[in-house]
Amino acid sequence: MTRKKLLIIDGMALLFRGFYATSFTGNFMLNSKGIPRNGLFGFMNYFTDAIHTFEPTHILCCWDMGSKTFRNELFTEYKSNRQAPPEQLIPQFDLCKDVVTAFQIPNIGIVGYEADDCIGSIAKRYHNEFEITIVSGDKDLLQIVGTNIQVAIMKKGTGNYEVYTSENFFEKLQLRPEQIIDMKALMGDTADNYPGVKGVGEKTALKLLQQFDSVANLLKERDSLTKTMHKKITEYEDDLHISKKLATILTNMEIELDLSMAEWKNDHTSILSFLKDELEFSNTDRWLKKLKNDIQQQ
């Protein structure tokens, strides 16, 4: 019996990537109603390629549900350096979810939490029933890699992925998946705007984890550190603790989910109508060919 395969899409990652891949030229692909579609166009390229590449039996798409989450309560400056999304991208958020719905694929998102938390919780909950592939551009999700869970990080261009599995993870990064959390705790994250230990970069953090295995062990054995490093760890210990909490993706959320609704049907009558009539895309055949669709184009 063929094992079931669940593909979890990081919707925001694909949409943002699709938008910025074309918007730098000023091409927002407005339709006759003046609605920008460039992000949707890119999303469809990446989305259909992921389905073609990983051949899932089931698919979900996870989304952030606003800029504020429980992490902002832990650390008020979390992601405060992020600019508001471009005005041309804003209407494409809901339209992209409509695209996913037209594919008869569930959109998952919970207010107060990030898409990563939904992805992590679903992956850990169902990894014994499915072979799970997570598609994203966010390397934070590497901490989720484990038995029957692989993370495919999108690289430049369509169809290029760096796939991390439990078998190749250490060879690629010289760390275990759970050590990614401690790595980010030590380094901090300028993109998400949390501090880590000032003066500790990637090379130093990696060296410390290879020596002490974890932040917990590092703190227990800090007296064996050099005087300079001991001072840094002690001075920024509070930042280290909060950064670890911020870096940790939740994997125990209770999410109402019927995975029978996520079964990939490969029946695109509704998506064809939506893409052509509502969004006015004329080149749908390029996407449907990837999906081995047998519907005759009009």
The residue segments making up the domain with residue 186 are 179-247
- Examine the fold and report which residue of 247, 264, 279 is the final residue of a domain before the chain moves on: 247
Q: For residues 146 and 177, is the Cβ–Cβ distance under 8 A?
A: yes
Residue 22 has pLDDT above 80, yes or no: yes
Residue whose C-alpha is closest to residue 209's, from 235, 176, 242: 176
Q: What is the pLDDT of residues 188-247, one digit of tens each?
A: 999 999 999 999 999 999 999 999 999 999 999 999 999 999 999 999 999 999 999 999
The CATH number assigned to the domain holding 70 equals 3.40.50.1010
pLDDT given for residue 296 in this prediction: 42
Q: CB-based contacts of 117: which residues, under 8 Å, 6+ apart?
A: 110, 249, 250, 253
Please give the pLDDT value at position 1: 52
Residues 6+ apart with CB under 8 A from 150: 131, 132, 133, 134, 163, 164, 165, 166
Q: How many CB atoms lie within 10 A of CB 35?
A: 17
Same-domain check for residues 116 and 202: no
Same structural domain for residues 227 and 255? no
Q: How far apart (Å, rounded) are the C-alpha atoms in residues 27 and 101? A: 26
Residue 298: inside a domain: no
**Are 280 and 233 in the same domain?**
no
Whether 59 is covered by a domain: the verdict is yes
273: Cβ contacts below 8 Å, ≥ 6 apart = 102
Do 157 and 201 belong together in one domain?
A: no
pLDDT for the residue 156: 87
CA atoms within 13 A on the CB side of 103: 24
Q: How many domains does the chain have?
A: 2
Q: Is 33 exposed, middle or buried (0-12, 13-18, 19+ CB in 10 A)?
A: exposed
Conformational region of residue 201, where left means phi above 0, alpha means psi within -120 to 50, and beta covers everything else: beta
Same domain, 164 and 209: no
Q: Measuring CA to CA, how many Å separate 153 from each of 14, 74, 112?
A: 11, 28, 25
What is the mean predicted confidence (pLDDT) over 150-172?
A: 94
Does residue 295 sit within a domain? no
Report pLDDT for 295: 41
Say if residue 129 is in the same domain as residue 214.
no
**Are 136 and 169 members of one domain?**
yes
Q: What is the mean pLDDT of the chain?
A: 93
Residue 112 lies inside a defined structural domain of this protein: yes
In a domain, 215, yes or no: yes
**Could you tell me if 200 and 123 lie in one domain?**
no
Same domain, 264 and 196: no
In a domain, 138, yes or no: yes
Structure tokens at 66: 């606003």
Residue 181 CA to residue 179 CA, distance in Å, equals: 5
Does residue 61 sit in the same domain as residue 133? yes
Mapped onto helix, strand or coil, the DSSP state of residue 16 is helix
Q: 201 and 189 in contact (C-beta within 8 Å)?
A: no
pTM: predicted TM-score of the whole model, two decimal places: 0.94
Q: What's the CATH code of the domain at 233?
A: 1.10.150.20
Q: Are residues 255 and 141 in the same domain?
A: yes
Res 167 pLDDT > 60: yes
Same domain, 165 and 280: yes
- pLDDT for 193: 93
